[in-house]
Amino acid sequence: MGYVNTSNSIKIIILCSFVVIVVLRGTIGIGNLDRSISGVENRALNNETNQVLLDTNFNKNTLDQNGKNKPPVNPNVTYTLGPMGQDFDKDLSDPNHQDKPPIDLNVTYTLGPKIDNWDSLRQEWIKQNPNFPNIVGGKGRVLLVTGSPPDPCENPFGDHYLVKGIKNKIDYCRLHGIEIMYNMAHLDEEMSGFWSKLPLIRRLMISHPEVEWFWWLDSDALFTDMVFEVPLQKYKDHNLVIHGYPGLLEEKSWISLNTGSFLLRNSQWSLDLLDAWAPMGPKGTIRDEAGKILAANLKGRPVFEADDQSALIYLLITQKEKWMEKVFIENSYYLHGFWLGLVDKYEENVEKYHSGLGDERWPFVTHFVGCKPCNSFRDYPFEKCFKSMERAFNFADDQVLKLYGLRHGSLLNPNVKRFRNESDKPLKFVDEFDIRRHIVIGSSN
């Protein structure tokens, strides 16, 4: 019995040592970033990279149900996203419930029926339905897409901040004439986690031909410049707008782009991109083996299951001539802004600058990567995350409440107080404080 315990202890020590080595390999060597990036952005990228590593479960799903190694992916087979519209939320206690059969690695796994003439179909539909124009007020119709899991959060504070997050997004969309879609349904069991946005966006794209742009925004990202507006005219010749750094993309860096916030035009090009993007997504063996390919080809990326961000970067690098002409890599404003280094400067932003800038002086979007508000575990201390999220929410909320003569007592105080008296001439306050009268569209340069 003593021999067995000693043997098990040695196995545990070896396993822990292996995990430490894997993590260290992933965190070494990211300091050699694009020299064109500022010191603030460099630090943010380093911090964000560490969070991606922490967000990932290494060597996940490498064993089957019997504890044996899963077979390798057949390199001669192309895998794409699976059929849509199936009910994957059946109660396991239901006697009529049957487990889905495992993916056949020898069968092509597709998004759905291949669509080849979407642009012409869509334009014809728009002509036949004049009450659903794709251009509204001289701008392309935009649908903001976000969501959260259908089940309650493991942490009750998480549900509270999901409500604050959707309130923040509704406020921004209302002020800027943007429609919003909040999804809580699993559309495809195989495309879980990071990948769930792909089947959702595709389903929305073919169901809403009147929408010109689909804007994906993670649930843990908040608008913090309520005046700034995305310069859509700047992207008239592009179909994908994503935050990132061209220099890092050229270096094949796995942190060169961020898929937590991006815009995708409703077009045949975009449907084709989703078809090409999806093959590494199905969970299990396919995703695990694809992760090894990404690690071998992207600078600084350790070995873990394929994620949507790395897969997109890999696709744009390996098929540059096919895709990059229609991709706009945006960094003149914070379409995605990593929260560390931003949330502690809001008071300074108010003192020195003004809303409508959208960059580090008044960040457009503050993204709480690594905080995982809905989970019981996270990469930062509970108090730090939720205090920072409270600050970001109240910073944005004050910009909205200004019209009504209200503001928060402080950025950590959820309660509001009146800062001006009522007037018998209230319209002067509308002219002065209504955000809709002071919208700043980002530079087209």
For residue 47, the model assigns a pLDDT of 60
* Poorest-pLDDT segment among 136-145, 164-173, 189-198, 293-302: 189-198
pLDDT over threshold 60, residue 93 = no
For residue 432, the model assigns a pLDDT of 75
pLDDT digits (tens, 9 = 90+) for 338-396: 999 999 999 999 999 999 999 999 999 999 998 988 887 777 888 999 999 999 999 99
Q: What's the whole-number mean pLDDT along residues 297-312?
A: 96
For residue 436, the model assigns a pLDDT of 78
Please give, one letter per residue, the 3-state secondary structure of the chain: CHHHHHHHHHHHHHHHHHHHHHHHHHHCCCCCCCCCCCHHHHHHHHHHHHHHHHHCCCCCCCECCCCCECCCCCCCCCCCCCCCCCCCCCCCCCCCCCCCCCCCCCCCCCCCCCCCCHHHHHHHHHHHCCCCCCEECCEECEEEEEECCCCCCCCHHHHHHHHHHHHHHHHHHHHHCCEEEEECCCCCCCCCHHHHHHHHHHHHHHHCCCCCEEEEECCCEEECCCCEECCHHHHCCCCEEEEECHHHHHCCECCCEEEEEEEEECCHHHHHHHHHHHHHCCCCHHHHHHHHHHHHHCECCCCCCCCHHHHHHHHHHHCHHHHHHHEEEECCCCCCCECCCCHHHHHHHHHHCCCCCECCCCECEEECCCCCCCCCCCCCCHHHHHHHHHHHHHHHHHHHHHHHCEEECCCCCCCEEECCCCCCCCHHHHHHHCHHHCCEECCCC
For residue 40, the model assigns a pLDDT of 57
Domains contained in the chain, CATH given: 118-278+307-441 (3.90.550.10)
